[in-house]
Structure 1
Amino acid sequence: MASRFLLPAVRRTVQPSLTRQTRSFQTSGILRDAAAAPVAVKKPVGAFRGGIFGFLLGSVASGAGMYYYVLDEYKVSNELLTTDIYALQAAVQRIENYVRTLEEKFDASSKKK
Structure 2
Amino acid sequence: MLMVGRFRLFGFLLGSTTAGAGMYYYVIDEYRISNELLTEDIYALQSAVQRIESYVKTLEEKVDLKRK
TM-score w.r.t. structure 1 length? Answer: 0.57
Task: Tell me which of 57, 64, 71 is aligned to 2:21.
Answer: 64
Q: How does 1:1-113 map to 2 (within 5 A)?
A: 46-111=3-68
Q: How far apart are 1:70 and its partner, in Å?
A: 0.8
Alpha-carbon distance in structure 2 between the residues aligned to 1:47 and 1:74:
40
Q: How far apart are 1:47 and its partner, in Å?
A: 2.0
Q: Which amino acid aligns with 1:61?
A: T
Whose relative contact order is higher, 1 or 2, with alpha carbons under 8 Å and at least 6 apart?
1
Any stretches of 5+ residues in structure 2 without a counterpart?
A: none
TM-score w.r.t. structure 2 length? Answer: 0.92
Q: How far apart are 1:50 and its partner, in Å?
A: 1.2
Question: Structure 1 vs Structure 2: percent identity of aligned residues?
Answer: 68
Q: How far apart are 1:52 and its partner, in Å?
A: 1.1
Q: How far apart are 1:73 and its partner, in Å?
A: 0.7
Q: Could you list the structure 1 runs, at least 4 aligned residues long, displaced by more than 3 angstroms after superposition.
A: none
More helix by share: 2
Aligned length in residues = 68
Instruction: Kindly report the root-mean-square deviation, in angstroms, between the aligned alpha carbons of the 2 structures.
Output: 1.4
Alpha-carbon distance in structure 1 between the residues aligned to 2:11 and 2:58:
70
